[in-house]
Amino acid sequence: MLTILTLTLQSLSVDVFSQTQKMPDFQSNSNIDKSEIKDNTQGELATKIQLEPHENQFLDDYYQVSDFAFVLSNSSQLCPSGNCEYELEGGTMQAERIPGERSLAGRITIDTGDSKKAMELRASWKTVGELYKNDANIKVIKGILDLGTSQFSPENKYQINGTLTKHGENYLLEVKGIK
């Protein structure tokens, strides 16, 4: 069973995109290099989000975004210049109400240089596998990431695959998606 999950985890970077993607180290609220995503006719995204326990002590098992990196492919209508900057405000991962299911919501601003677009970001996923590696609990996840002006009818939907890794009290969410 462990071998199957390991193969699934290793194939995430190959199956989601048409080329292998390497996620960079964090640079606070900075962009991932555009060369990380191959420009093609399908919209692609990659994100890496660090989460820490929520500052509101009454929100048990809630986490807030402490750092992130985000990029869209050049074919994306949201960033056609391929040279955008991204800000994520109020990013919160909710408590696990159903075992293995989580969601993350926030407001993302996409600065194209000529204009800024503010949109709702919502991701929801299910755990499809689990690994323990280097004393870390790694959940292999699959779900949907929505971007749009309306959270109930978003204009941009991405099928996502990735991992949610627990490091002490914090989590690291790494996701790649295709429109």
CATH number reported for the structural domain that contains residue 151 in this entry: 2.40.160
- Burial of residue 48 (CB within 10 Å: 0-12, 13-18, 19+) is buried
How confident is the model over 143-156, as a mean pLDDT? 87
pTM listed for this prediction: 0.76
Question: Is pLDDT larger for residue 152 or for residue 163?
Answer: 163
Residue range 63-93, pLDDT digits in tens: 999 999 998 887 788 887 778 899 999 999 9
Q: How many domains does the chain have?
A: 1
Of the candidates 147, 137, 124, the one whose C-alpha atom is nearest the C-alpha of residue 170 is 137
> Given this model, what pLDDT does residue 42 score?
59
Contacts of 99 (CB under 8 A, 6+ apart): none
Output 57-60 pairs: Cβ under 8 A, ≥24 positions apart: 59/95, 60/95
- Domain coverage including residue 85: 2-178
